[in-house]
């Protein structure tokens, strides 16, 4: 049987640095576990703009549609801040999400025991934390029309449109309920139904999908601003949080700090299952290109490595191998391995991006 195919788009800033460690881990699974992938590399974001004048070449888009999974590092950076909006690096990533129809973005926030002291919250609030944010990814205000900056009288007006159809809400709600059934069986849906019509529709559709097909799952609704507050007040009250594109973007960065660092949070962006039952999928860390630490060997590669673990689980039916990788990360953290972002007030000597890769590979070897 042919090997599964992986398209790696390392992107910009720390993207290539963290992805460098992921490729070592992919090689390890090929060498030591007989789990070989056919890996291809291509450009996205500013790197693609520099070569092709577009943040995502059509050939790259076409290949993303064909492979079994895409792994992405990060896009963007100050070098590209003044580019026309249509060719900004971030547009390359948004095009991938839209054209691959990756409507369900899974952003798990789990607190590793070894980092429970490191979070900016008190230990008892986050020890054992395990929540899953399900963020709608292909619609909402990031894509709605009209959008743009227009002349209006003697000044300019910036417009973005929050737009959701019932079917867009329904399909992501289903994915959240399905996930909840395999976890703590609870979904909290977050919107702003008090001030936005799209929020009213969101709440109605989520409730209807629940009542018709998932009555066994515990469902609650919360305004997203209260949700942000509750996430830092008592995060363990949540199991699955279901929310839209914009609120999900913000709430997941917030959830990252519950786990200690934005450098720890992975994500999976999934579409509807293909004929073979496998969804189109893109895996990427939640963080961006981190221009402030690019090129210094300081980036934490764990979010990107955990994203590959999600690929093993969700695209390749390799849940046991995903767990092996997650346990290896748990072990190195327990042994005290820390990149600079994980240094607490007590200080200590951080290890570099590649040294974090070294110790995780050693822990994988020890797992055999």
Ligand X SMILES: NC(=O)C1=CN([C@@H]2O[C@H](COP(=O)(O)OP(=O)(O)OC[C@H]3O[C@@H](n4cnc5c(N)ncnc54)[C@H](O)[C@@H]3O)[C@@H](O)[C@H]2O)C=CC1
Ligand Y SMILES: CC(C)CC(=O)C(=O)O
Q: Which is nearer to Mg ion, 136 or 249 (CB)?
A: 249
Residue whose pair of structure tokens reads 């309920």 in the numeric block? 177
Structure tokens at 149: 């900056």
Q: Name which position in 93, 190, 304, 351 contacts ligand Y (CB under 6 A).
A: 93
Q: Name which position in 12, 249, 326, 341 contacts Mg ion (CB under 5 A).
A: 249
160 among the known binding-site residues?
A: no
Would you call 142 a catalytic residue per the annotation? yes
How far apart are alpha carbons 35 and 18 in whole angstroms? 21
Report yes or no: 169 and 205 within 8 Å, Cβ to Cβ: yes
Positive/negative CA dihedral, 135, 140, 141, 143: positive
**Contact partner, 263, from ligand X, Mg ion, ligand Y, none, Cβ < 5-8 Å per class:** ligand X
Q: What stretches of 79-142 adopt beta strand conformation (E)?
A: 104-110, 130-136
- Binding segment for ligand Y (CB under 6 A), chosen from 89-97, 168-176, 298-306, 351-359, is 89-97
113 among the known binding-site residues?
A: no
Would you call 59 a catalytic residue per the annotation? no
Cα angle at 306 between 334 and 349, to 5 degrees? 40
Distances (CA, A) of 111 to 125, 305, 335, 354, 360: 10, 16, 16, 23, 18
Structure tokens at 136: 């709608």
Report yes or no: 21 and 305 within 8 Å, Cβ to Cβ: yes
How far apart are alpha carbons 267 and 148 in whole angstroms? 29
* CB burial of residue 264 (10 Å; 0-12, 13-18, 19+): buried
345 among the known binding-site residues?
A: no
Structure tokens at 121: 């919250």
State the catalytic residue, choosing from 42, 68, 192, 341: 192
Q: Name which position in 249, 331, 338, 364 contacts ligand Y (CB under 6 A).
A: 249
Q: What is the DSSP string of 72-93?
A: EEE---GGGTTS-GGG-HHHHH
How far apart are alpha carbons 271 and 172 in whole angstroms? 10
How far apart are alpha carbons 354 and 349 in whole angstroms? 15
290 among the known binding-site residues?
A: yes
130 among the known binding-site residues?
A: no
Structure tokens at 80: 């590209």
State the catalytic residue, choosing from 50, 101, 213, 253: 253
- The closest of 261, 269, 335, 270 to 301, measured between CA atoms, is 261
Q: How far is the CB of 253 from Mg ion (least distance, A)?
A: 6
4 among the known binding-site residues?
A: no
State the catalytic residue, choosing from 12, 42, 142, 314: 142
Q: Which helix (H) or strand (E) holds 167?
A: helix 166-181
Q: Should residue 180 be labelled a site residue for ligand Y when binding is judged by CB under 6 A? A: no
What is the size of the binding site for ligand Y (CB under 6 A)? 5
Q: Which is nearer to ligand X, 93 or 363 (CB)?
A: 93
**Contact partner, 94, from ligand X, Mg ion, ligand Y, none, Cβ < 5-8 Å per class:** ligand Y
Helices and strands in the chain, H and E counts? 12, 12
Q: Should residue 172 be labelled a site residue for ligand Y when binding is judged by CB under 6 A? A: no
Would you call 122 a catalytic residue per the annotation? no
State the catalytic residue, choosing from 216, 225, 335, 365: 225
Q: Should residue 94 be labelled a site residue for ligand Y when binding is judged by CB under 6 A? A: yes
Q: Which is nearer to Mg ion, 60 or 267 (CB)?
A: 267
Q: Which is nearer to ligand X, 79 or 221 (CB)?
A: 79
Q: Which is nearer to ligand Y, 35 or 246 (CB)?
A: 246
Q: Should residue 42 be labelled a site residue for Mg ion when binding is judged by CB under 5 A? A: no
Q: Which is nearer to ligand Y, 17 or 249 (CB)?
A: 249
Residues that bind ligand X (CB under 6 A): 14, 18, 74-77, 90, 93, 262-263, 284, 287-293, 299-300, 303, 341
Q: Give the residue numbers of the binding site for NAD(+).
A: 77-90, 288-300
List active site positions. Answer: 142, 192, 225, 249, 253
Name the site residues for ligand Y (rule: CB under 6 A).
90, 93-94, 249, 286
Q: Give the residue numbers of the binding site.
A: 77-90, 97, 107, 135, 225, 249, 253, 288-300
Name the site residues for Mg ion (rule: CB under 5 A).
249
């Amino acid at each position: 049987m042919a090997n599964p195919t992986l398209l790696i788009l390392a992107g910009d800033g720390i993207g290539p640095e963290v992805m460098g460690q992921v490729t070592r881990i992919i090689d390890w699974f090929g060498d030591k576990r007989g789990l070989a992938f056919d890996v291809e590399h291509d450009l996205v974001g500013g790197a693609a703009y520099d070569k092709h004048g577009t943040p995502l070449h059509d050939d790259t888009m076409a290949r993303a549609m064909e492979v079994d999974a895409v792994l992405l590092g990060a896009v963007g950076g100050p070098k590209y801040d003044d580019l026309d909006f249509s060719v900004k690096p971030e547009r390359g990533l948004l095009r991938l999400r839209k054209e691959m129809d990756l409507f369900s973005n899974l952003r798990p926030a789990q607190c590793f025991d070894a980092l429970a002291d490191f979070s900016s919250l008190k230990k008892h609030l986050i020890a054992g934390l395990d929540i899953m944010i399900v963020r709608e990814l292909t619609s909402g205000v990031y894509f709605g029309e009209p959008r743009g900056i227009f002349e209006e009288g003697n000044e300019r007006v910036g417009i973005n449109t929050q737009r959701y159809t019932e079917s867009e809400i329904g399909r992501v709600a289903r994915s959240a309920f399905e996930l909840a059934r395999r976890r703590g069986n609870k979904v909290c849906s977050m919107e702003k139904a008090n001030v936005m019509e799209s929020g009213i529709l969101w709440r109605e559709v989520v409730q209807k999908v629940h009542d018709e097909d998932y009555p066994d799952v515990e469902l609650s609704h919360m305004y997203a601003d209260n949700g942000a507050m509750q996430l830092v007040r008592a995060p363990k009250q949540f199991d699955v949080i279901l929310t839209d594109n914009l609120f999900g973007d913000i709430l997941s960065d917030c959830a990252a700090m519950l786990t200690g660092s934005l450098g720890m949070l992975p994500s999976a962006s999934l579409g509807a299952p293909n004929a073979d039952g496998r969804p189109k999928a893109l895996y990427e860390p939640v963080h961006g290109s981190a221009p402030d630490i690019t090129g210094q060997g300081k980036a934490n590669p764990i979010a990107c490595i955990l994203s590959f673990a999600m690929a093993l689980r969700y695209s390749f039916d390799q849940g046991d191998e995903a767990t092996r990788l997650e346990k290896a990360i748990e072990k190195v953290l327990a042994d005290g391995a820390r990149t600079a972002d994980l240094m607490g007030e007590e200080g200590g000597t951080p290890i570099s991006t590649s040294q974090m890769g070294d110790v995780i590979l050693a822990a994988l070897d020890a797992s055999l």
